[in-house]
Chains A and B, each alone.
Chain A
Amino acid sequence: MTETQEETRQAGDTAEGAAPGLGRGLRILHNLGWTLIYLGVFTLGFVVHQLFVTTWFAEQNQPELALERLEQWESTEISEVVVVPDSTDPDDPNDPGISSGATGSTGDEPPEPLILKVESPPDLGAAFALIRIPKIERLQEGWNVVEGVRTADLRNGAGHMPDTALPGQPGNSVISGHRTTWGQPFHELDALDPGDRIEVETALGTHIYAVREILVVKPTDFWVADPREGAWLTLTTCHPKFSARQRLVIAAELVFGPNAEVIEVMS
């Protein structure tokens, strides 16, 4: 190392290190300044990471997830359940008003049996559905939904909560999604109004829901995922934006799709 280089190196040490030539007060100020600069860089990095890097990763995954979803649809087993509307007492809570299979009718004329299509449940982490919301620009082309709401699952943007009904099936199908990070598919969910359309495409076909309820709840309000009569889709996301303090919940009812008619009769 030449003498000039050594001098330059020492000058750098003085500028960045303990600043021995300065008094105690100035040294504290000097170190505080550097600490604030490091904190600023760290915070700026955090903001850039959350807003852009996570979304970049989630968007990069979308084409791969789309292929995975199409493969999943090809391998999905679809079974048909015969549902015979029953003419028993509708006020009896123990009587669901339907029976499955070829028996169960007690009326004078046997009601026409209906077919409920049921798809096999997807594997955890697998892309199996596409959600489209025409009113939200980001979701007009659709966003892939994976099975599961683990942290790793939600790095793809949106996930279906296991143990809730699949989209297009009777009950309450819950899909959770990021609002400000990881693709932010549900960023504009608060733009929805009652009556707006939500489409979910699965191996069975396209299920169309109409928004009925918009709620803001606590993150611990698990009741929003409870089963419901009929076929419902519940979308949940963080609220307000850039905060995990609450949850924005959109509840939508199935109005059209492969199973809409039979579920309406069942209800």
Chain B
Amino acid sequence: MDTTNERIATAPLPTPKELRRRRNPVIQFGRFVRINWTMWRLARRKH
């Protein structure tokens, strides 16, 4: 347990800018389109 929690304690923490990016509706809409496109393409090609 200690090793895992020591690793967690030193894991990279997202910056405030990154956290804002993850919640920004405009940016996230773009990511939404991108994620869907990637998943759709994978599903069509790999299945």
Partners in one complex: no
